[in-house]
Chain A
Amino acid sequence: MIKIKKNKLLIDQHDKNGFWGKFGGNFIPETLKKPVEDLAILFEKLRKDKKFIRERDYYFKNWVGSPTPFVKLENLTAHLGGAQIWAKVVSEANGGAHKIYNATVHSLIAKRAGKKYIVGDTGAGYAGKMLSMAAKKFGLKCKIFMGAKDIKRQKPNCDAMRKNGAEIVPVYTGSQTLVDAVSECMRYWVSNCLTTSMCVGSTVGPNIFVKICGWSTSQISRELILQIKEEFGEIPKKLKLINCVGGGSSSFGFWNEFMHYNKKQIEFIGVEAGGPKKSKRHAAPLTYGSKIGILHGAAQYVNQNTDGQIEETESISAGLDYPGVSPLHCFLKDVKRARYTAATDEEALKAYQLVTKYENLNPSLEPSHAFAEAIKIAPKLSKDTIIIVNSCGDAQKDRDILRKRLGK
């Protein structure tokens, strides 16, 4: 039985072929072997380079805005009458979501690699928006691949990308959502890998992309562990860290620093997108026991049919609307370090309504899935239990959907 090793970061606990247990690896065309290997070598060098770390920390602090707030949701807690509910308001980061960390790091690496262009995929549009911001900041030309369906439903983020000078490439193949955007972005990289850097928008893709993204978003838990100690004087005896999971970049970053705590003390709860209540489709491969398959270069639990065709997903939240999930989360599920569950579209919307009714907080549809779980379990828990929800995105991008569904 594979276990998490204590003396090593989880992102580094893969074997020489890039697998965390049965998950991950590098299922890529031969053409990408070299660029992927080059990136891996450069990243290993840079993460040991003090100057690079100083640079990263400088931009995280002065440009991204670190640390993001850690606040108690007093009214929501009082209303639910159980565990204390807190929020790590990552949506306060520059740009409005956690995607800024990965985008910043990839852009800094691209600069070091001497690349002039950077391309990326996006679902909710946050990864794209942040990459366009970072590209502009660091003087890189930027192309964003986005499903045509997502372009329609996440217009505010598209406007932002264009304003930052990025080109949005609409993807019309397949379901016209994130899964197709990632495929198209990888195809583009196959053709342009000598001049162009690729930023995969989440902890998915070939091994090195999982690592870089997880390394970048871990900033969230680095901040949080200090904030918790400052607030409570110690790590609370009963702590639950709840986060939505699509690709899994925000949740991994939210949990990383707490990985080695006993799960009885610190429980990780990942909330996937259950899709519309009446639909059979979902974006919750961990919750609903999808089989292991290969998607976008990595072995993972993925929604697929018996033949191995990737299945279409359905979720109100574009950011969670992905048939696969990070190999890191597959691993965390198998070693039972994290627990995964799903919230439906309706539950997420309801949670959004409740949170915005009681608190001065505007979580996007993605973290609203996490809030749905918090709201479900909090009343049953003792008052000394601390629930922290990663409010990892701002709902500004969802205004059209919210208006349509809630009349807001």
Chain B
Amino acid sequence: MTISPISLAFEKSKKERRPALLTYTVAGDNTKKKSLEILNSISNYADICEIGFPHNTPIADGGQIQTASYRAIKNGIKMRDVFQIVKEFKKNKNAKPVILMGYYNMICQYGQNKFLKKCKQVGVNGLIVVDLPWPDNINFAKKCRKNSISFVQLLSPTTSKARMKKIISNSHDMLYYISMLSTTGEKLKVSPRNILKNYVKIKKIIKNRKKNLVIGFGITSKNISSFKSSDGCVVGSEICKKISKSIKNRQNPVTNVSNMVKSLKSKIA
């Protein structure tokens, strides 16, 4: 089996003795064109790009990502635009692996099989479906694998050890650890030390070194350097917030976000 672009990205960052940097932006935020420009520019620093397909009843997202999602939807972004953005982005020689992230209803309405086919066609490498937890995702995850798409399982501080083992045995090459009990983008209410303590425990359960565990939720420029020992860090809300601020101040979100991601990278390098 060929090694997936997601695994390759982790291998590369491990060689450089640093965690992989994963960014999250919402497709179509604030316009289709701008979001593509943002992706193209942050691709210089990020290792993997998570791209959100916006939903208007996001039950696990905090204010920043909600705002970004509503902005994109209001600007008329549709699922077909999301795929178009990925397709265009992937034409960039410097493009990074893409993980689409969103809510299950959007996938259902598109049609599971059709959705996965389209993902493969445009070059999506992974999927995170926020409201499709294990074991409900078993079949879908299998279908993803058949289409060479990594299905990213989520783990949370509330996940029991027994459950964790089962989830891990069903996981592909990347897992996502939710740092704390919160929606996306809340202030870190657990110390990085304690988050890493849990993280190490989970890594021990995972054993398999080919399975990468990233940390997300509450990670910002301020605290990212505390997570240097992890396989990867996800920054989302802070980026979405930067876009909001740029629009408010009539600045170019592309430059601002790009600078931010550059600085994030320097903090873990």
A residues with CB within 8 A of B: 17, 25-35, 173-174, 179-180, 183, 186-187, 190-194, 291-297, 304, 306-310
Contacts and interface: CB of A to CB of B under 8 A. Distances in A.
B181 A194 contact: yes
B59 A297 contact: yes
Query: Which 3 pairs of residues, A with B, have the shortest CB-CB distance?
Result: A308-B109, A34-B158, A294-B105
A187 B185 CA distance: 12
A30 to B, nearest CB: 4
Contacts of A193: 158, 181
Contacts of B125: none
Contact of B61 (A179, A187, A292, A296): A187
B131 A33 contact: no
Interface residues of B, number: 41
A291 B109 contact: yes
Interface string B101-122: 0011111111000000000000
Contacts of B159: 30, 33-34
16 contacts: A26-B133, A28-B133, A30-B133, A34-B158, A34-B160, A180-B57, A183-B58, A187-B183, A191-B182, A291-B109, A294-B103, A307-B109, A308-B79, A308-B103, A309-B56, A310-B105
B146 to A, nearest CB: 22
Interface in B50-85: 55-62, 66, 70, 73, 78-79
Contacts of B157: 31
Chain A interface SS verdict (over half): mixed
B136 A293 contact: no
Contacts of B108: 292-294, 308
A261 to B, nearest CB: 35
A179 B57 contact: yes
Contacts of B58: 183
B70 A173 contact: yes
A309 B55 contact: yes
B132 interface: yes
Contact of B131 (A179, A187, A297): A297
A296 B57 CA distance: 8
Q: Which of B131, B134, B156 has the most CB of A within 10 A?
A: B131
Interface in B150-186: 154-160, 163, 178, 181-183, 186
B104 to A, nearest CB: 6
B196 interface: no
Contact of B136 (A26, A183, A292, A307): A26
B130 interface: yes
Contact of B130 (A29, A33, A304): A29
A33 B183 contact: no
Contact of A174 (B56, B155, B182): B56
A350 B151 CA distance: 54
A294 B130 CA distance: 12
Nearest to B110: A308
Contacts of A30: 133-134, 154-156, 158-159, 178
A386 to B, nearest CB: 40
Given A190-B183, A191-B186, A296-B59, A27 B109 contact: no
Q: Which of A29, A193, A295 has the most CB of B within 10 A?
A: A29
A32 B131 CA distance: 10
A25 B105 contact: no
A28 B154 CA distance: 12
A281 to B, nearest CB: 15
A298 B13 CA distance: 39
A29 B59 contact: yes
Contacts of B154: 29-30
Contacts of A179: 57
A34 B160 CA distance: 8
B169 to A, nearest CB: 16
A190 B136 contact: no
Interface in B181-206: 181-183, 186
Nearest to A38: B158
A294 B186 CA distance: 25
B60 A190 contact: yes
A33 B61 contact: no
A302 to B, nearest CB: 8
B131 A31 contact: no
Contacts of A35: 158
Given A33-B158, A187-B183, A306 B109 contact: yes
A315 B132 CA distance: 31
B145 to A, nearest CB: 20
A197 to B, nearest CB: 15
Contacts of A295: 57, 105
Contact of A307 (B79, B133, B156, B181): B79
Given A174-B57, A183-B58, A187-B61, A31 B73 contact: no
A294 B59 CA distance: 11
Contact of B59 (A187, A307, A308): A187
A309 B73 contact: yes
A191 B181 contact: yes
A207 to B, nearest CB: 11
